Structure 1
Amino acid sequence: MVLNIHSRVIAADVEAVGRLLDTLATDDDRLWPVRNWPAMRFDRPLAVGADGGHGLIRYTCIAFDRGREVVFRFNSPRGFDGTHRWLAEKVDDQHTRLTHEILMDPHGWDRLAFPLAWRWLHDALIEDGLDLAEAELVPGTPPRSRHSAYVRFLRGLVHSDKVRE
């Protein structure tokens, strides 16, 4: 079982963070780091039942509470059996915790591929997204994410114009 959680407390109210969350997969996406990673795209606006994904990863939206939470069920790779979600939670009137969580049971080839490759790419992408969210809501905030040499190597293997969408 994989439980992978990335979380950041941002100096912004939950409504502001929720508005960022609601831009996922739109032309004005201010949460997903589309400049450096494959864009998140769906067959319709973000809502329950929307099918899509990013790059080689495909999923369906199974829950959407506007401004608070969005949950996706993986469709592919075939070895990804589980969900990932974004969640905005109020910490206090001026701070919000933005969390991304994967809960899945990898099987087949992905039982090995997830810890060796997918996890590293995922962690870098999500941290880039958290940096983007924080910079959007707290201008001047420097990025915290740094890509390791291994992540740069993996990106070179799988990241191409074909994958970028």
Structure 2
Amino acid sequence: MKIINIHKRVIHQQKINVVEILKTLSTENDKIWPNENWPEMKFINGIQIGAKGGHGPIRYYVEKYDPTEIIQFRFSKPNGFNGIHKFEIVELNKETTEIKHTIDMYTEGKGTIFWFLAISSLHNALIEDGFDKLENNFSNNKKFTKWNMWVRFLRKRMKKRSKA
């Protein structure tokens, strides 16, 4: 099944400031990934073309990397996820920047079921949390996107399983 999932956020900052925050992705001083509530994004040698890593059960490698424009990852797991996800940064004007996250993939078999039952909702919440964290680097009025009931239910189930 074809999956296109896009999240965008307009940040009222110059592109260079947003780029600097995105450069911290998957570092010890990560200022975008919401690892306070989600599995950490990890890469053994940092983000560079060919680097392998992921978060939780999702695995991927860096396919394209230009820190001022794009970080593109290609899925390697779970089985049935065939495609990419990427962050893009676009200057809208001198004081406004858009960050965009896109998943563009085909799913098959268990990957399709996994996507629809759990990953889609969890992914949407994770990305919005990450965009909140990014935007909060520049604001005193902290953003916080509330999780929907399904996400809260799934996270509670996952917590119970990890304790067992």
**Equivalent residue number for residue 25 of structure 1:** 26
**Equivalent residue number for residue 158 of structure 2:** 158
Task: Give the Cα separation in 1 of the matches to 2:44 and 2:134.
Answer: 24
Task: Give the Cα separation in 1 of the matches to 2:141 and 2:109.
Answer: 41
1:102 positional shift: 0.3
Q: Are positions 1:108 and 2:109 aligned together?
A: yes
Deviations 1:138-158 (A, max 9, x none): x22332411012101111223
Residue pairs, 1:1-165, within 5 angstroms: 1-137=2-138, 139-159=139-159
TM-score by length of 1: 0.93
Task: Give the Cα separation in 1 of the matches to 2:155 and 2:113.
Answer: 18
Task: Give the Cα separation in 1 of the matches to 2:70 and 2:160.
Answer: 30
Secondary structure of the structure 1 residue equivalent to 2:37: coil
Contact 2:79/2:110 (<8 A) preserved: no
**Counterpart amino acid of 1:67?**
T
**Counterpart amino acid of 2:156?**
G
Task: Give the Cα separation in 2 of the matches to 1:86 and 1:160.
Answer: 32
Task: Give the Cα separation in 2 of the matches to 1:134 and 1:105.
Answer: 31
When residues 161 and 50 of structure 1 are mapped into structure 2, their CA distance, relative to the original with a 3 A threshold, is: farther
Which one has more relative contact order, counting CA pairs under 8 Å at least 6 apart?
Answer: 1
When residues 107 and 156 of structure 1 are mapped into structure 2, their CA distance, relative to the original with a 3 A threshold, is: same
When structure 1 is superposed on structure 2, of 151-160 and 88-97 the one drifting more is 151-160
Task: Give the Cα separation in 1 of the matches to 2:21 and 2:108.
Answer: 33
Deviations 1:39-89 (A, max 9, x none): 100011210011000011100000000132100000100111110000110
Name stretches of at least 5 consecutive residues in structure 1 with no aligned partner.
Answer: none
Task: Give the Cα separation in 1 of the matches to 2:140 and 2:161.
Answer: 30
Give % identity. Answer: 37
Task: Give the Cα separation in 2 of the matches to 1:117 and 1:128.
Answer: 17
**Counterpart amino acid of 1:142?**
K
Task: Give the Cα separation in 2 of the matches to 1:161 and 1:97.
Answer: 37
C-alpha RMSD of the superposition? 1.5
Name stretches of at least 5 consecutive residues in structure 2 with no aligned partner.
Answer: none
**Counterpart amino acid of 2:153?**
F
Task: Give the Cα separation in 2 of the matches to 1:76 and 1:24.
Answer: 20
Task: Give the Cα separation in 1 of the matches to 2:105 and 2:28.
Answer: 29
Task: Give the Cα separation in 2 of the matches to 1:16 and 1:161.
Answer: 40
Task: Give the Cα separation in 1 of the matches to 2:101 and 2:123.
Answer: 10
